[in-house]
Amino acid sequence: MAATATPEALEGRDPVPAGAVLPGAPERRRGGTSGRVLVLNASYEPINVCTVRRATVLFLKQRAEILEEGGWRLHAESLTIPRPVVIRLVTYVRIPRDAHSRKITRRAIFARDRWTCQYCGRERGKLTVDHVIPRSKGGSSAWDNIVTSCAPCNRRKGDRLPRQAEMHPLTHPSPPGPTIFVHVAASAIPPVWEQYLPLAA
């Protein structure tokens, strides 16, 4: 029987085995992927991104197998564990189809737009979110009306409609696909993850 869990539930806090030496790498650093592990369902469908620590616990509890490992190993008393890069859950976990696309956050918008300003195409600089149709002109706060914009473009567009400002988003904004969480977790996708991701993620 398949268990049902939200992706968040997979991030639970299990005790790490006594004596285990696990890396305390900065996991939340933007663009940093060194501490992140891609989690696949038993069906090989990508369902989450977790920390090395969490992946190691799942592996030690025999709840996951390691599909891809990194170049270094974790040492815990008598055992040596490959550093997980991609793991696969042993038991299928049912994930609601729209679990990842419901919440609109700044980070999810940036991830959907691949951290690229949708007006000038620049990838660097301070990113903001812009309402394509300004809220003051009746624009909604929905996926199809919010885009990533660099701060200078956002200032230039101001409170104007796209045609008034002659600034149109490079791509038509829409709700993200089901693997958006991968891009939210890691702005740079490790090459070894790519073979497990859908081609048009």
Contact positions toward Zn ion, by CB under 5 A?
Answer: 117, 119-120, 150, 153
Minimum gap (Å) between residue 120 Cβ and Zn ion: 3
Nearer to Zn ion, 119 or 196 (CB): 119
Q: How far apart are CA 147 and CA 114, in angstroms?
A: 11
| DSSP symbol at 79 | E
Q: How far apart are CA 110 and CA 148, in angstroms?
A: 6
- Alpha-helical (H) ranges within the chain are 52-60, 106-112, 151-157, 162-165, 180-185, 191-194
Minimum gap (Å) between residue 130 Cβ and Zn ion: 9
Minimum gap (Å) between residue 106 Cβ and Zn ion: 16
Nearer to Zn ion, 10 or 153 (CB): 153
Minimum gap (Å) between residue 145 Cβ and Zn ion: 18
Task: Write the burial class of residue 170 (CB in 10 Å: 0-12 exposed, 13-18 middle, 19+ buried).
Answer: middle
Nearer to Zn ion, 28 or 124 (CB): 124
Give residue 124's identity as a one-letter amino acid code. R
Nearer to Zn ion, 50 or 153 (CB): 153
Name residues whose C-beta falls within 8 Å of residue 151's C-beta, 6 or more positions apart in sequence.
Answer: 125, 126, 127, 128
Nearer to Zn ion, 89 or 111 (CB): 111
**DSSP code string of 88-134:** EESS-EE--TTTTTS---HHHHHHHTTT--TTT---SS-EEEEESS-
Minimum gap (Å) between residue 121 Cβ and Zn ion: 7
Nearer to Zn ion, 63 or 156 (CB): 156
Minimum gap (Å) between residue 151 Cβ and Zn ion: 8
